[in-house]
Amino acid sequence: MRVKLTKKDVVWSYLAQFFSLASGIFILPLVLKLLSTDEIALNYLIGSLGAMVALFDFGFAPQFGRNITYVFSGAQNIHKTGIQTVESGEEINYRLLVNMIYTAKAVYFRIALSSFILLSTFGTWYIYEVTNGFQTVDHVIWIWATTIVSIFLSFYFSYFDSLLIGRGLIKQARISAIISKATYILFSITLLLLGFGLLGVVLSSLASSLIYRYISYRFFYDEEFLQKIREVKIDKVLSKELFNKLWHNSSKLGLVIVSAYAINNLSMFLAGLFLSSEEVASYGLLIQLVGIISMVSGTLFSSYNPTFSYLRISNKLAELLGTFSFTIIVYLLLFIIGSTILIFLGPIILKFIGSNAVLPAVPIMLVYCLVVLLENNHSNFATLIVTKNEVPFFKSSIIAGIFVAVGDFIILKYFSFGIMGLILVQGIVQLGYANWKWPLVVCREFSTNYFYILKLGLKVMFQKVKVLI
């Protein structure tokens, strides 16, 4: 079965990102206006803890998604490293597929349980510290308890995204996300206006997770698919073998993810302990808005991930390079446009809505956008490398994560550089290796250079525009 991205998939992917963006457009102004500075800061600190427990995924999400794509493409075996090239028309191995799904469910339940334990212990201590003994924010204990349950369920249900995308049901995956986000937006606005404060936001997140699970289940387990797997039995031995094979690369990706947290999120966690609530709110707002820009800019790239895996396993390398180049040029153009709008119009809009949090100074925003642009660019190239079922960058990622973590602590503990210091630490460390290394590896594999990839991307983009016109 060919996993191919259709125009409808692209449209639904952008609609899904629109609803993610809408949560910022419609909810963020209410959050900034109706919540106190302490509540805004706490909201971002809770987000940093959520990002921390996301480390428990340890690289399984991309591994499950990619290998499920392999199975649906006709692969009869899963390998620790490398891939099995398949011919078109290969039958789906449903025994392998069913046991892959069983393994995913088992793994994610254990991950969710581990995150629940960590948040209930260490997380509770952290929230106690940053809220001055549960004093600075009303109903903080209920807010935190609801957050723990919400993160547990969100984590456990997240394997459905790998299942849907791995099967090529990209439109259905995006519809699930849209309905889930719409639920979150509607509930959040209603509860904020009713005076529930931050508690209303976390309750909305909980409702969103439950809706996502219900819709995703109905999409993936349609009647046709259930008929094909109904007689297939779970093989515990095969499931264990699959886990061991997936763990080989997941363990490496997991270390990369831990390093990515240190590079991108640990600064916010440490900021809660060293900086004022006003600075934390400002930094958190910048991260959130640039994150929205990154998400929108990378929508096309992430939508094409199953196609990258299919083209790789089918050995269609010329088509793979052209498709990849197209997604890279779209990412760069959208990110640059979005960053420009944020830097010049962001402060004006915040002042207009009467926000209780402000963005950092323009030089800080400019440097941060540049750092994130380069970070996402090399991450896209690294993602293409992973389609070979290889993870050559895990050692360098660990080293970078250590340097950033130590650098952030030193900057906050012993200097007064504030937010700019945190951003410069991240940028300098990444510029020293990752920013140029992984684009170079891809260029060498395809015997090309970065400028040719941009040129090819523009060519493919114009061809697609002509077809649409």
**SS3 track for 318-330:** HHHHHHHHHHHHH
Q: Say which residue, 330 or 83, is predicted with more confidence.
A: 330
Q: Is 80 part of a structural domain of the chain?
A: yes
Residue 394, token pair as written in the block? 């895990």
Residue 266, token pair as written in the block? 């640990």
Q: Is 17 part of a structural domain of the chain?
A: yes
Q: From the CB of residue 241, how many other CB atoms can be counted at a distance below 10 Å?
A: 14
Cα separation, 15 vs 70, whole angstroms: 27
Query: Is 33:227 a contact under the CB 8 Å cutoff?
Result: no
Look at residue 330 in the predicted model and tell me its pLDDT: 94
Q: Is the pLDDT of residue 261 over 60?
A: no
Q: Find the range with the poorest average confidence among 251-255, 346-350, 391-395.
A: 251-255
Look at residue 451 in the predicted model and tell me its pLDDT: 93
Contacts 24+ apart (CB under 8 A), 185-190: 185/19, 185/22, 185/23, 185/26, 185/27, 188/23, 188/27, 188/30, 189/26, 189/27, 189/30
Q: Find the range with the poorest average confidence among 170-179, 218-227, 236-245, 404-413.
A: 236-245
Cα separation, 320 vs 384, whole angstroms: 9
Q: Is 1 part of a structural domain of the chain?
A: no
Q: How does pLDDT run across 263-294, given as a tens digit for each residue?
A: 556 677 777 778 777 888 888 889 888 988 99
Look at residue 258 in the predicted model and tell me its pLDDT: 59
Q: Is the pLDDT of residue 2 over 60?
A: no
Q: How does pLDDT run across 98-148, given as a tens digit for each residue?
A: 888 888 888 888 888 888 888 898 888 888 888 888 888 888 889 889 989
Residue 357 carries which side chain, given as an amino acid letter?
Answer: A
Q: Which helix (H) or strand (E) holds 75?
A: none
**82: DSSP letter:** S
Q: What is the DSSP string of 430-448?
A: HHTTHHHHHHHHHHHHTT-
Domain housing 75: 7-468
Phi, psi of 365 (to 5 degrees): -65, -40
Q: Say which residue, 35 or 367, is predicted with more confidence.
A: 367
Phi and psi based region of residue 356 (left: phi greater than 0; alpha: psi -120 to 50; beta: remaining): alpha
Closest CA to 391 of 243, 252, 242: 252
Phi and psi based region of residue 357 (left: phi greater than 0; alpha: psi -120 to 50; beta: remaining): beta
pLDDT category, 328, cuts 50, 70, 90?
very high
Q: Say which residue, 309 or 436, is predicted with more confidence.
A: 436
Phi and psi based region of residue 332 (left: phi greater than 0; alpha: psi -120 to 50; beta: remaining): alpha
Look at residue 469 in the predicted model and tell me its pLDDT: 56
The total number of structural domains that make up the chain? 1
Query: Is 441:381 a contact under the CB 8 Å cutoff?
Result: yes
Q: In 304-449, where does DSSP find H-type helix?
A: 305-313, 317-353, 362-386, 394-414, 418-431, 434-445
Look at residue 378 in the predicted model and tell me its pLDDT: 92
Can you tell me the mean pLDDT for 25-53? 79
Q: Is 40 part of a structural domain of the chain?
A: yes
Q: Is 159 part of a structural domain of the chain?
A: yes
- Residue 455's alpha-carbon distances to 79, 320, 336, in angstroms, are 35, 15, 17
pLDDT category, 252, cuts 50, 70, 90?
low
Q: Is the pLDDT of residue 42 over 80?
A: yes
Cα separation, 455 vs 445, whole angstroms: 17
Phi, psi of 298 (to 5 degrees): -95, 5
The rounded mean pLDDT for the chain is 81
Look at residue 105 in the predicted model and tell me its pLDDT: 82
What's the Rg (C-alpha) of the chain? 22
Q: How does pLDDT run across 412-451, given as a tens digit for each residue?
A: 888 878 889 889 998 999 899 989 998 999 999 899 999 9
Q: Is the pLDDT of residue 374 over 90?
A: yes
**Does the predicted TM-score (pTM) go above 0.75?**
no
The pLDDT > 90 percentage for the chain reads: 16
Place of tokens 């890279």: 328
Look at residue 256 in the predicted model and tell me its pLDDT: 60
**195: DSSP letter:** T
Cα separation, 425 vs 47, whole angstroms: 21
Q: Say which residue, 203 or 281, is predicted with more confidence.
A: 203
Q: Is the pLDDT of residue 88 over 70?
A: no
pLDDT category, 24, cuts 50, 70, 90?
low
Q: Is the pLDDT of residue 87 over 70?
A: no
Q: Is the pLDDT of residue 253 over 70?
A: no
Cα separation, 162 vs 101, whole angstroms: 10
Look at residue 111 in the predicted model and tell me its pLDDT: 80
Q: Is 2 part of a structural domain of the chain?
A: no
Residue 287, token pair as written in the block? 């991260």
Look at residue 238 in the predicted model and tell me its pLDDT: 77
Look at residue 48 in the predicted model and tell me its pLDDT: 74
Closest CA to 430 of 254, 259, 290: 259
